[in-house]
């Protein structure tokens, strides 16, 4: 992740990142330090699998802490109402339909960190998200997919 690239987050996403960072820097660091201390107490570190495992866990925890700190440093809050009410933007929910079908799909446009397509959250960087940004009700969008181009119509913007 680039040190200068903004990370777009909803209020909920920002809260989750802060919670995880707090857990890792508090509780989890103490747990790992205890694991290392217990493994050191066993003696010879050169053949101590418990010590090696604890140091590996410590590396993962510290790496994740740095990653979360970088996310927070570059976080940009997705603010409601920043996009005109009639256009699709970050934080907006949109109802679309694939042209030629009756199946309606509802998605909220979020930053890549919070994307979860199975739960209706698509990234602004995904092909669908990029195609929808700035569009208005009634417009059609063309989305590149592995199986070819798919045309959607924007039915509603919330």
Record the pTM: 0.73
Q: In terms of residue numbers, what domain contains 52?
A: 7-77
% of the chain surpassing 70 pLDDT? 94
Q: Alpha-carbon distance 122 to 71, whole Å?
A: 19
Residue 83 forms part of a structural domain: no
Q: In CATH, what number is assigned to the domain containing residue 64? A: 1.10.287.180
Instruction: For residue 148, give the H/E element and its range.
Output: strand 148-157
Long-range contacts of 144-150, Cβ-Cβ distance < 8 Å, separation of 24 or more? 150/98
Model confidence pLDDT, tens digit, residues 32-71 = 999 999 888 887 777 788 888 999 999 999 999 999 999 9
Model confidence pLDDT, tens digit, residues 61-107 = 999 999 999 999 999 888 765 666 688 989 999 999 999 999 999 99
Residue 102 forms part of a structural domain: yes
Residue 85 forms part of a structural domain: no
Whether 21 and 72 share a structural domain: yes
Q: In CATH, what number is assigned to the domain containing residue 98? A: 3.10.50.30
Q: What are the Cα distances from residue 27, in Å, to 23, 31, 37, 115, 148?
A: 5, 6, 15, 27, 48
- Helices 49-74 and 11-23 pack at an angle, to 10 degrees, of 150
């Amino acid at each position: 992740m680039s040190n200068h690239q903004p990370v777009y987050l909803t209020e909920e996403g920002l809260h989750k990142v802060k919670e995880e960072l707090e857990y890792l820097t508090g509780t989890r660091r103490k747990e790992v330090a205890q694991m290392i201390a217990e493994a050191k107490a066993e003696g010879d570190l050169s053949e101590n699998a418990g010590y090696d495992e604890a140091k590996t866990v410590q590396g993962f925890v510290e790496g994740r802490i740095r990653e979360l700190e970088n996310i927070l440093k570059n976080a940009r809050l997705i603010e409601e109402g920043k996009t005109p009410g009639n256009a699709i933007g970050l934080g907006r929910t949109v109802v679309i339909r694939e042209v030629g079908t009756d199946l309606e799909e509802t998605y909220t446009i979020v930053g890549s960190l919070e994307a979860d397509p199975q739960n209706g959250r698509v990234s602004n960087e995904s092909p669908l998200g990029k195609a929808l940004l700035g569009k208005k009700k009634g417009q059609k969008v063309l989305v590149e997919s592995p199986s070819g181009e798919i045309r959607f119509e924007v039915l509603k913007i919330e």
